[in-house]
Chains A and B, each alone.
Chain A
Amino acid sequence: MKSKRKTGFILLCILPTLVIFAMFIVYPVTQVFYKSLFSSSGFGSSDQFVGITNFIELFSDDVFIQSIKNTGFLMLVVPVITLLLSLIFASMLSFGQLKEKHLYRTIFFFPSILSFVVIGILWAFIYHPNMGIVNEIMKVMGLDQYALTWLGNPDTVLWAIAIVMVWQAVGYYMVMYLAGMDSIPKELYEAASIDGANAIQQFVKITIPMLWEIIRITIIFSINGVLNISFVLVIVMTSGGPNNSSQVALTYMYQQGFVNANFGYAMAIAVVVFIVAIILAFISNKLTEREAL
């Protein structure tokens, strides 16, 4: 009896949260799943139930397959490079005990506070085939044959976008790792040096394990970040071109929904992306699971 009353009280307390959660998360998400079974132009009045037709068509849609491949590529490449670089930079700043530590921290963090649209425009000019700084540098170094149309060539465009995403995010994760490193007790390192461990051994045996929980979180953050940022960068820098070679899942969803007015089909894309993202998060969670120290 007593415990029942307690549960009642707890329920009462979390009720507002549950209602808000239901209204703004559960309801929209179920709606997306539901509407993906319709042929819809977005006005609701003549939606037709088509079952899983949208999904069947998705998997014979070359552009969709291309966009999923591109998204997958970015989700693999960008987090790995970003997190590795952030770790390296963070440990350099943390161990080097540089005087200019705070200056570097600010400089590295700077890209994270710029708007994605600004970043996109900025880098579109950096990659500009005729007046961009990348090609100018290539020419100065005598590498004329490598002065490419970075964003206009299907072989280079995805890497070009991946580099921007890494550049944008490195500082953010670096600051997170720095904070984590500061909280590792110094005694551990002192003890290790007395035992004769060098800097790299200390990094691998102490820093990484102590940071592991933060790293796990940042992996998931970073994978999800790729999903979002790639949308804006692709829209601004290439519009998905040339010939869909830089199309990502969300830009294609946007195009189907808002340009072609095929909302049911766009919802189907959203469902697939949702499922893929959940699976990826799950896998990375499983893979990085470790017993607590």
Chain B
Amino acid sequence: MKSFVRKWMLLLAVLAAILAGCTDKSDGEGSAESDGDGKLEGELNVAVFQGGYGGEFWKQLAKNFEEEYPGTTVKVTANPDIGEMIRPKIIAGNPPDFVYLNQTDPSGVTQGLIKEHGLTDLTDVFEGNALDEDVPLKDKVLPGILESVYMSPYDDGKIYLAPYNYNVMGLWYNKTLFEKNNIETPKTWDEFFALNKTAKKHDRALFTYQGTSPGYLEEILIPAVYSLGGQEALDQMLNYDPEFWKSDVAMKALDIFDKIASKDNALMNGTVALDHTQSQTAFMQGKAMFIPNGSWFEGEMENAPREDGFEFGFLGVPTFDKEDPLLALNSIEQVYIPKGAKNPELAKEFLRFMYTEESIKLNGELAKASMAIDGASDLVKEYLTESSYNVFKAVESGMYSISGNFAPVPKGVNVNPREVLFSQAASIMNGEMTTQEWADKMYGVYKEVQEKME
């Protein structure tokens, strides 16, 4: 009997080894083909996330591209789970040629590829001229974006991800309420907290946020850090310099949340337990004066109940100095070409094609969004909700919009500093933690990241 078991274990082991051999072989394959032959023909596989923007834009863009470039075929796969669908293909060395995943894609594919250095360098696309104009493409992109860690994740001056849709985030309020009662929108944090009395008078809390997704609080924290310490402090925070958490800037910025938690009912009752839809609905029903969110707000909440006369008003984020312009945080959706794509040259041409005026308009029409290109919001004005158009306009006319994305953490780091940072917010809001403890905790996390970086 013993020998019988042994025999079978041996067989299983051999089988496992064969199977293991199957997968290992595929590693690293495909990179040899990535040079491509530069010919603008052949087949292009485009994988796009189908979410709030739908998938129609990409399908129509593909058709237009095929017409413009005879001899090419573009196959578009649009799916809400596109990240999970392409992961095995990437592992097998057969990635799509062109990928759009949304900013908060839960599959982690984009993050993984950035960590792996698995993206094609796109610098030449942006150095070169635009397809429909005689200027370098990079001059058409909104300032600051290509240099940001969103598009240029390694600090080597090269661009690996290309900007697609553009969002602006900050605080929102009910315009009707403010206009009817002659309430002035706050310019500074002091004015903001002074409004707590007014809020009580109108039977609502001062503030609420997307409780179970505390990451939305970065729409306040990042502008606050910028307001206090400028780009220098912000870089410190986003690039994991532990000393940042010992600075006055950090303490003052974190204090905003402590004040919200400790001031007489400034935080809407129960906020910590609500998900984003629940808290946003409560805000629209007049339970709170302010909520952080992005330019997609009106579209997202199209069918949600609201108090009488509710109107979306975008305020930006208050500053600490009355002289400073109001601030806003921006986020940019990314598209990229994975390393090992079969036809990178054609994919790059497809990318250039995406930035033509015609495509920008098409995107406005079908995805109801504005690309991160100068003047794009005016090109697509008729397709945007009024509030989101106003948000883009506000940024173009004096409100300062900041790019703030945490740098990718090196491999082998098992904490996600951004996640740790914002999950502590709940403990502040519940009164179980002081800002000093919050900063100390972050100091420890940053220290850990720092050690692995060296």
Contact = CB atoms under 8 A, between A and B. Distances in A.
Interface string A38-65: 0101111110101001100100010000
Contacts of B430: 152-154, 242-243
Interface in B2-44: 4, 8, 11-12, 15-16, 19-20, 23, 27-28
B162 interface: no
A244 to B, nearest CB: 6
Given A43-B112, A152-B426, A259-B108, A239 B213 contact: yes
Interface stretch (A23-31, A103-111, A186-194): A23-31
B112 A42 contact: yes
Given A39-B412, A41-B411, A44-B27, A130 B282 contact: yes
B411 A258 contact: no
A285 B389 CA distance: 64
Given A27-B16, A129-B269, A154 B113 contact: no
Contacts of B411: 39, 41, 46, 48
Main secondary structure of the interface of A (DSSP, over half): loop
Interface in B297-351: none
Given A41-B112, A242-B426, A22 B4 contact: no
Q: Which of A30, A151, A238, A262 has the most CB of B within 10 A?
A: A262
A22 B15 contact: yes
Interface in B75-129: 87, 90-91, 106-109, 111-113, 115-118
A27 B412 contact: no
A171 interface: no
B71 interface: no
B432 A154 contact: yes
A260 B273 contact: no
Nearest to B23: A44
A183 interface: no
Contacts of B109: 42
Contacts of B429: 242
Contact of A57 (B115, B409, B414): B414
A151 B426 CA distance: 12
A153 B429 CA distance: 10
A225 interface: no
Contact of A152 (B23, B106, B270): B270
B12 A45 contact: no
Interface string A3-26: 000010000000000110011001
Contacts of A255: 416, 419
B94 to A, nearest CB: 13
Contacts of A261: 108, 111-112, 115
Q: Which of A50, A238, A241 has the most CB of B within 10 A?
A: A241
B170 to A, nearest CB: 23
A127 B115 CA distance: 40
B269 A42 contact: no
B275 interface: yes
Contacts of B112: 41-43, 261
A48 B113 CA distance: 16
B423 interface: yes
Q: Which of B275, B412, B429, B430 has the most CB of A within 10 A?
A: B412
B224 to A, nearest CB: 21
Nearest to B28: A45
A128 B268 CA distance: 13
Contacts of A31: 20
Interface in B253-290: 269-275, 278, 282, 287
Range of interface residues on B (Cβ < 8 Å): 35 or more
A58 B57 CA distance: 44
B287 A130 contact: yes
B278 A128 contact: yes
Contacts of A127: 273
A65 to B, nearest CB: 13
Nearest to A260: B416
A258 B108 contact: yes
Contacts of B272: 149, 152-153, 241-242
B416 A259 contact: yes
A279 B414 CA distance: 27
A112 interface: no
Contacts of A124: 275, 278
A257 interface: yes
A152 B273 contact: yes
A129 B282 CA distance: 11
Contacts of A48: 411-412
A7 B4 contact: yes
Contacts of A41: 111-112, 115-116, 411
Contacts of B270: 128-130, 149, 152
B450 interface: no
B91 A43 contact: yes
A127 B211 CA distance: 14
Contact of A239 (B108, B212, B271): B212
A255 B4 CA distance: 43
Contacts of A61: 414-415
Contacts of A231: none
B427 interface: yes
A48 to B, nearest CB: 7
Given A129-B269, A150-B273, A258-B106, A23 B111 contact: no
B214 interface: yes
B335 to A, nearest CB: 19
A108 B97 CA distance: 52
Contacts of A150: 273
A258 B91 CA distance: 15
Interface in B395-432: 409, 411-416, 419, 423-427, 429-430, 432
23 contacts: A18-B11, A22-B16, A26-B12, A27-B15, A27-B20, A39-B411, A39-B412, A41-B112, A42-B87, A46-B117, A54-B414, A127-B273, A152-B271, A152-B274, A152-B430, A237-B212, A239-B212, A239-B213, A241-B426, A258-B107, A258-B108, A260-B108, A260-B111
Please give me the 9 A-B residue pairs with the lowest Cβ-Cβ distance, nearest first.
A129-B270, A152-B273, A242-B426, A152-B272, A151-B273, A261-B112, A41-B112, A261-B108, A243-B427
Interface of A: 7, 18-19, 22-23, 26-27, 30-31, 39, 41-46, 48, 50, 53-54, 57, 61, 124, 127-130, 149-154, 237-244, 255-262, 265
Given A153-B430, A257-B108, A259-B419, 20 more contacts: A31-B20, A124-B275, A149-B270, A150-B273, A151-B273, A153-B273, A154-B430, A237-B212, A241-B212, A241-B426, A243-B423, A243-B433, A255-B419, A258-B106, A258-B108, A259-B111, A260-B111, A261-B108, A262-B414, A265-B414
